[in-house]
């Protein structure tokens, strides 16, 4: 199922109130138009295959460090927590937690910390709901409870034990990546490269190539492929494609 809810269409629209040339990063322009479009189990990643891949790839590793850059309102890292637990079970998933998640947007990070996520309006909300049911094999209430929102729509509240598996912080990927170093690291930077300037993209890919060592993995989103040169930059900086689409491994 392919959902056309993404920054792409917003990027096509020329904002009337700003001159993009006055900004050093595309973030301010796109962020004004649609700051955090995301949804549970975003369908540009084969979540189940990704979890099985992680299990196999790190089978001889006791601890794996997962970073989730541009985590938005928390939907993405919570999706990963639910996927790992549903696909691998508690014991095999433990080494992947906690997930270190960050986003540039202070308001979104504050929201993510509460574990309360409201569904998008209309059809998107229905898809969120159905995905939560099916992708957790109807085990959704192990992870969350459904909640009517103040404005009338439906949303969820993640259970405390799921919330504890993710640490949320405010952070810019360009500065964060400088301090992330080591082996056995998974770095999700999905659907965010188009917010960066070309110079920032080059810097990010170079730093990922330099700092992530043996066994490390980088994950992109569909809009990084269609709206940026992220894939090309990763391949240039020591990563290679894997059998899971949009998942790249550090070459040793």
Instruction: Give contact residues for ligand SAM (rule: CB under 6 A).
Output: 7, 27, 35-38, 42, 69-70, 72, 76, 103-105, 108, 172-174, 190-192, 195, 221
What residue spans of the chain are helical by DSSP H?
A: 7-12, 27-33, 47-57, 75-88, 90-93, 106-114, 123-135, 160-163, 173-176, 198-211, 222-227, 230-236
Nearer to ligand SAM, 94 or 245 (CB): 245
CA distances from 238 to 178, 215, 233, 250 (A): 17, 12, 9, 6
- Cβ of residue 252: shortest distance to ligand SAM, in angstroms? 27
- How many Å apart are CA 3 and CA 124, to the nearest integer? 8
- Cβ of residue 21: shortest distance to ligand SAM, in angstroms? 18
- Cβ of residue 91: shortest distance to ligand SAM, in angstroms? 28
CA distances from 221 to 24, 45, 53, 151, 247 (A): 23, 7, 17, 31, 9
- Cβ of residue 98: shortest distance to ligand SAM, in angstroms? 18
- Cβ of residue 205: shortest distance to ligand SAM, in angstroms? 14
- Cβ of residue 162: shortest distance to ligand SAM, in angstroms? 18
Nearer to ligand SAM, 32 or 214 (CB): 32
Nearer to ligand SAM, 70 or 158 (CB): 70
- How many Å apart are CA 172 and CA 106, to the nearest integer? 11
Nearer to ligand SAM, 63 or 112 (CB): 112
Pairing of strands 185-189, 217-219: parallel
Q: In the 8-state DSSP scheme, what is residue 138?
A: T
Nearer to ligand SAM, 199 or 251 (CB): 199
Nearer to ligand SAM, 64 or 177 (CB): 177
Q: 92: buried, middle or exposed (CB in 10 Å: 19+, 13-18, 0-12)?
A: middle
């Amino acid at each position: 199922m392919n959902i056309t809810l993404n920054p792409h269409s917003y990027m096509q629209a020329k904002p009337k109130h700003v001159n993009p040339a006055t900004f050093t990063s595309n973030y301010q322009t796109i962020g004004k138009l649609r700051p955090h479009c995301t949804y549970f189990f975003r369908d540009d990643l084969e979540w189940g295959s990704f979890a099985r891949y992680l299990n196999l790839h790190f089978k001889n590793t006791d601890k794996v460090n997962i970073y989730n850059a541009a985590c938005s309102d928390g939907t993405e890292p919570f999706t990963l927590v639910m996927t790992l637990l549903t696909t691998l079970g508690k014991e095999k998933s433990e080494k992947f937690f906690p997930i270190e998640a960050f986003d540039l947007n202070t308001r979104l990070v504050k929201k993510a910390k509460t574990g309360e996520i409201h569904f998008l309006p209309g059809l998107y909300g229905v898809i969120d709901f159905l995905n939560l049911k099916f992708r957790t094999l109807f085990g959704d209430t192990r992870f969350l409870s459904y909640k009517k929102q103040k404005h009338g729509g439906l949303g969820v509240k993640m259970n405390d034990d799921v919330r504890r598996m993710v640490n949320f912080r405010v952070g810019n990927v360009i500065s964060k990546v400088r301090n992330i170093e080591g082996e056995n690291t998974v770095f999700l930077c999905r659907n965010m490269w188009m917010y960066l300037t070309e110079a920032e993209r080059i810097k990010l890919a170079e730093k990922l190539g330099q700092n992530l060592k043996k066994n490390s993995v980088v994950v992109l989103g569909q809009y990084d492929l269609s709206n940026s040169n992220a894939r090309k930059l990763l391949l240039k900086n020591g990563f290679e494609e894997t059998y899971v689409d949009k998942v790249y491994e550090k070459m040793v």
